[in-house]
């Protein structure tokens, strides 16, 4: 019976390792909120809460969410409130508009 447990134990070890790598990756991510200054052609310029301007390169594969639905970088209009998530190196992972109803609750 013990030899039958070896594959199960090996599978559990793989699952636990994968989960801890994912958690570590999420811990390395950061997000910040601000307003769109301009967006398009793989470039996003935004201001943070202090009014400081930030520029991000956004790869075509990066998910952009506009009002809760999939969108494009070009859909982001000047003055729109957004949240940008980046990895530890500053590479953009996601861009999403902020829903006014969710902020007020």
CATH for the stretch 30-104: 2.40.50
Mean pLDDT by 10 residues, the chain (105 residues): 61 52 56 95 94 94 95 96 94 90 47
Please report how many Cα atoms fall inside a 13 Å half-sphere around the Cα of residue 91, on the Cβ side.
10
64's tokens = 């952009």
Per-residue pLDDT at 24: 43
Per-residue pLDDT at 104: 43
pTM exceeding 0.75: no
Contact status, residue 62 vs residue 85, Cβ threshold 8 Å: no
């Amino acid at each position: 019976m013990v030899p039958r447990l070896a594959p199960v134990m090996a599978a559990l070890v793989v699952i636990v390792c994968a989960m801890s790598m994912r958690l570590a990756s999420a811990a390395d991510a950061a997000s910040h909120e601000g307003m769109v200054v301009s967006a398009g052609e793989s470039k996003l310029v935004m201001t943070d809460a202090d009014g400081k301007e930030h520029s991000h390169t956004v790869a075509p594969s990066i998910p952009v969410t506009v009002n809760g639905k999939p969108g494009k970088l070009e859909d982001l209009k000047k003055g729109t409130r957004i949240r940008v998530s980046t990895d530890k190196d500053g590479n953009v992972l996601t861009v999403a508009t902020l829903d006014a109803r969710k902020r007020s609750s």
